[in-house]
Amino acid sequence: MARDPLLVLARLRALRRDAARRGLAAAGAELAAAEARAAGVAEALQREAASAAADYAAWLPAARAARERAAAAQREAEARLAVARDGLMEAHAAREAVVRLLAARRAAARDARRVAEQRALDDRAVRPPD
């Protein structure tokens, strides 16, 4: 028996949605790690500033550069999270569209069966018994 193409498409859309969910989770974990790194760099910078070490002037430019890299990584992670969130919403909408189409097709087939059954009943009622 041949598979219904809409059922196959619905399954593929569900797989795509699940992959998008995993991508969103990964992007969220990546963002959390980037936020933790940025917080660690900022904390180290404050700690060094408070200690007023003799080599502070030499260390400060490198620390600021590290803070900027951490902030840039955090912004990139936030952007990837937004893209992953959009991808999940798109995948969910695509699957829902297929499910609605499948439901509409099933309803149309059910209505057609009912009309055919009613027509058959009407034909039997109109014909005189043999």
What pLDDT is attached to residue 53?
62
Find where tokens 């080599």 sit: 55
Q: pLDDT tens digits for 16-75?
A: 999 999 999 999 999 999 999 999 988 888 887 777 666 767 777 888 898 899 999 999
Q: How far is CA 20 from CA 31, 57, 87, in A?
A: 16, 46, 6
Q: What is the dihedral of CA 98, 99, 103, 108, to 10 degrees?
A: 0
* Structure-model confidence comparison of residues 26 and 1, the more confident one: 26
Average the pLDDT over 80-87 and give the result. 95
Q: pLDDT tens digits for 85-120?
A: 999 999 999 999 999 999 999 999 999 999 999 999
pLDDT reading at 128 higher than 70? no
Q: How far apart are CA 119 and CA 28, in angstroms?
A: 58
pTM of this structure = 0.70
For the chain, report the end-to-end CA distance as a whole number of angstroms: 39
What pLDDT is attached to residue 64?
85
Q: How far apart are CA 62 and CA 116, in angstroms?
A: 80
